[in-house]
Homo-oligomer: A and B are copies of this chain.
Amino acid sequence: MRNCVNLRASFAFIGAMKRTEEDLRLINAFFLRLEQHDKLRAEERGALLDVIGPVERLPGGASLVRTGERPGASTLLLSGMASRFRLLSDGGRQIVAIHVAGDFVDLHSFLLKEMDHDVATLAPSAIARVRHEALEELTRNYPHATRLLWLLTLIDAAIMREWAVSLGRRTALERMAHFFCEIHLRLLAVGLDGNDTFELPISQVTLSDILGLSVVHTNKQLQDLRARELIVWNGSTVRLLDRERLMKLADFDDLYLHRRREPR
């Protein structure tokens, strides 16, 4: 690979970095996510790995970056959960994305430069930063890996579109069912689902800000889903009791997640 030396040179700290087994396991979530969509060549894996900063652990509710800031790095979420949201002048809040392990949470700040929303963890999480200079170098030397990173932002956008469809045209109940279907499939992709059961470490307040509903109504619709024996959600674990019926209720079609593995 041309310029491989340059790449290393601009991130001397990384070259020196020893990763623990545990850190490598965490970072693997990201590769799992990428390889869900296309094959990576060994040198691409290497180049990407080189670019990932040290693993950091954060508590839930930690702010990663705020509106108006110009971060010098983007954040990879390796475990836990994070949200991106806009605060409104009337005190309201709309969550515009939920991220799970393996997601490149704010990759878009690499090119947008200035943040137009906030990012925060929703639960204790492990993250790693990737400096924007390193990403730029990557775009010069690894066009295919670049396209895959671009793809990740395109899939985020596709999810965003689906949320807009939910917010604009689905009832509260359908919307909620749709969200559970989506998060289930996204966790499945990175191996965090077992038997239609997964961890969802968020409160009903957070869910309201995802669905664009009041907390009261969120609670009532949730009871409805429970009464229909579609889901169980005590504390932090969700169990989908009848995925078929849930998907039907939500009018769910997984096309927008673009899960197919193919050359990109």
Contacts and interface: CB of A to CB of B under 8 A. Distances in A.
Interface of A: 67-68, 84, 86, 88-90, 92-94, 96-97, 108, 111-114, 116-117, 136, 139-140, 143, 146-147, 150-151, 153-158, 160-165, 167-170, 211-212, 251, 255-256, 258, 260, 262, 264
Nearest to A248: B89
A114 to B, nearest CB: 7
Given A112-B154, A112-B258, A146-B143, A161 B117 contact: yes
B255 A116 contact: yes
A161 B260 CA distance: 25
9 contacts: A84-B161, A86-B165, A108-B154, A108-B157, A112-B154, A113-B258, A136-B147, A156-B157, A160-B164
A153 B153 contact: yes
Given A161-B117, A167-B212, A264-B111, A150 B151 contact: no
Contacts of A155: 112
A154 B88 contact: no
One complex includes copies of this chain to the number of 2
Nearest to A116: B256
A154 B107 CA distance: 10
Q: Which 10 A-B pairs have the closest CB atoms?
A: A168-B212, A167-B167, A157-B157, A116-B256, A94-B168, A96-B161, A94-B165, A139-B143, A111-B151, A94-B169
A170 B86 CA distance: 12
A212 B163 CA distance: 12
